[in-house]
Structure 1
């Protein structure tokens, strides 16, 4: 694993007088996390007027701090020329519209061909960030918007926004069953007790809150607008299955294909060949880490979901 070294120096302002060294460092060098700065202090990579010190040492104001930031390449995966649908890019962040079938980062069984490989090809500097700057993820077969940080400062800022639930994430989903009204699901999610590849509503799991609103009703399906308050693995898929409205095409949570009574042959055919969960991350909103401005992006519904909706509308018309 290779390493890049960055040298920084700064004068301690009088406003920081009396603070611990690690607190002063966090304000002077906000691009780096507190834990990383503390580690560099312990390794002797921070000096106060030329003298190595400890994280808990106090600063008086007026001292000269030097920092030798050691940034390791964070990933083992290789750059790959995989096309990206880039919605927005500047010096701090990148927003992409992920297609179905693209795994976000390497794991057992998926060592390459991932979004992370594609990002390293698009911008080799991303190797210095955890997971090449990927802040959050979408399941392999879920489409839609993802934000990627391009600098350590942007990474820290975006992770903090995500943890503070300040991102706005809005999805579209097509579910099995006719809903009478929207609502919320506030049920914790954890690993399934017996099937380890599945998640489940699990009262020893983590808090998970999903809000949903009916956009269109069909004879045996509903088109939903879904907002996430938390971001647990498979959250929308698990919550919708829990309230007995699983996502169309979900291979894990929907069970075997159920054809609605009296469905047109066109609809039957479309449902038979819809082999992924009908879920799309349509809108993403966040505060830009550099400008502080609120920004929003939208990604159009993918063709397969658009076509399914058209067939459902036709079926409703003639049903």
Structure 2
């Protein structure tokens, strides 16, 4: 197939070859301009960005061959989104292979509808321009916008493949700390299928069929009057996994705007602290993986952020418990001294089933 085309600025002019006679305009242009999807070309036609013999057309117009077509190329938001943007990143560790950072709450990880700029990906491209050569700027896993904590980013393609394999083989250990509504009665394992909520496609839910296996290990660190401080280790990494699982266990995360219970009964000071959090009380606290280059296991921790710590302080004070940072450090040290804490054989096992 041959055609005549000339590129001037953002406009392409071409002549439709005779072997495309009878084709729809959008289908023909998709063949002649393979760098652009048919749906995108159709949107250009509908927006008046494509002229056929000088006239505005529709995507389904049939061609006879020999027409002169002018196409105004419009950069997609996706392409524009992959631009470097300087921002302050809390880098915990960095070498020539990987980068570990502490993501703040409120920062979107990857550009998408409604958030084409100001994302972590944009910041990573500014911090490390060579990430432009790695798919998704080296991002191998995500945190929800309003979840804070540790993430690992691959700086090379081999490192990215290595980390992705580790995630698939479940050798990356991700431990979160969270505040849940209610008094969680015991440690356990939540094992379900998670998929799109059949009643709201913008949410995830525990489903009976068609979902993906999701396993979360839950450990109670402390109990308060109407809340619990918990640790959650992900064995799998499904979208909104901890938030969905804790909702299914009838202990949704405090402050969760999607899966939480805004009418949870608690004292006014605690309500004010949860409202001030303005997000789900969830923090990716510990991250452990095999370094792609050295082959050695590396582990990182990051402290509970100030907003969650304030909520914990209010909860501890109300419950007559020590509310200082030293208590948190004591917990951390105790956890570090017991490397077998997350052996599921040591737990009472709780399997959450889907309710009819």
Q: Deviations over 1:179-215 (max 9, x none)?
A: 1211111001000002011000012100000000000
Contact persistence 1:106–1:112 (CA under 8 A): yes
Contact persistence 1:165–1:230 (CA under 8 A): yes
Tell me the equivalent position of 2:285. Answer: 282
Question: Runs ≥4 in structure 1, deviation > 3 angstroms?
Answer: none
Contact persistence 1:149–1:155 (CA under 8 A): yes
Query: Per the alignment, in what secondary structure is the counterpart of residue 267 of structure 1?
Result: helix
Q: Deviations over 1:143-163 (max 9, x none)?
A: 000000001110111111111
> Counterparts of 1:46-65 in structure 2 under 5 Å?
none
Tell me the equivalent position of 1:211. Answer: 217
Whole-Å Cα distance in 2 between the matches of residues 118 and 168 of structure 1? Answer: 25
Whole-Å Cα distance in 1 between the matches of residues 238 and 276 of structure 2? Answer: 28
Tell me the equivalent position of 2:181. Answer: 176
Tell me the equivalent position of 2:301. Answer: 298
Residue 229 of structure 1, aligned match among 207, 224, 235: 235
Contact persistence 1:75–1:131 (CA under 8 A): no
Tell me the equivalent position of 1:124. Answer: 129
Residue 199 of structure 1, aligned match among 204, 224, 227: 204
Whole-Å Cα distance in 1 between the matches of residues 185 and 124 of structure 2? Answer: 42
Report how many residues are paired: 242
Gaps of 5+ in 2: 1-77, 322-356
> How far is 1:75 from its partner?
6.2
Contact persistence 2:218–2:231 (CA under 8 A): yes
Contact persistence 1:189–1:202 (CA under 8 A): yes
Whole-Å Cα distance in 1 between the matches of residues 260 and 271 of structure 2? Answer: 16
> Counterparts of 1:12-31 in structure 2 under 5 Å?
none
Residue 254 of structure 1, aligned match among 260, 263, 272: 260
Contact persistence 2:226–2:265 (CA under 8 A): no
Whole-Å Cα distance in 1 between the matches of residues 313 and 261 of structure 2? Answer: 24
Which TM-score applies when normalising by structure 2? 0.66
Residue 244 of structure 1, aligned match among 243, 250, 260: 250
Q: Deviations over 1:66-125 (max 9, x none)?
A: xxxxxxxx9651100111000000000000000000000000010000000000000111
**Which range is displaced more, 161-170 or 76-85?**
76-85
Tell me the equivalent position of 2:70. Answer: none
Whole-Å Cα distance in 1 between the matches of residues 182 and 175 of structure 2? Answer: 21
Whole-Å Cα distance in 2 between the matches of residues 103 and 231 of structure 1? Answer: 18
Gaps of 5+ in 1: 1-73
Whole-Å Cα distance in 2 between the matches of residues 227 and 275 of structure 1? Answer: 24
Whole-Å Cα distance in 2 between the matches of residues 112 and 268 of structure 1? Answer: 33
Whole-Å Cα distance in 1 between the matches of residues 263 and 90 of structure 2? Answer: 32
Tell me the equivalent position of 2:41. Answer: none
Query: Per the alignment, in what secondary structure is the counterpart of residue 162 of structure 1?
Result: helix
Contact persistence 1:240–1:246 (CA under 8 A): yes
Whole-Å Cα distance in 2 between the matches of residues 88 and 287 of structure 1? Answer: 14
> How far is 1:259 from its partner?
3.4
- Rg larger in 1 or in 2? 2
Whole-Å Cα distance in 2 between the matches of residues 281 and 256 of structure 1? Answer: 23
Whole-Å Cα distance in 2 between the matches of residues 252 and 311 of structure 1? Answer: 23
Contact persistence 1:207–1:230 (CA under 8 A): yes
Tell me the equivalent position of 1:71. Answer: none
Tell me the equivalent position of 2:96. Answer: 91
Whole-Å Cα distance in 2 between the matches of residues 79 and 308 of structure 1? Answer: 35
Contact persistence 1:100–1:142 (CA under 8 A): yes
Contact persistence 1:176–1:221 (CA under 8 A): yes
Query: Per the alignment, in what secondary structure is the counterpart of residue 179 of structure 2?
Result: strand
Residue 82 of structure 1, aligned match among 79, 82, 87: 87
RMSD of aligned residue pairs (Cα, Å): 1.3
Which TM-score applies when normalising by structure 1? 0.74
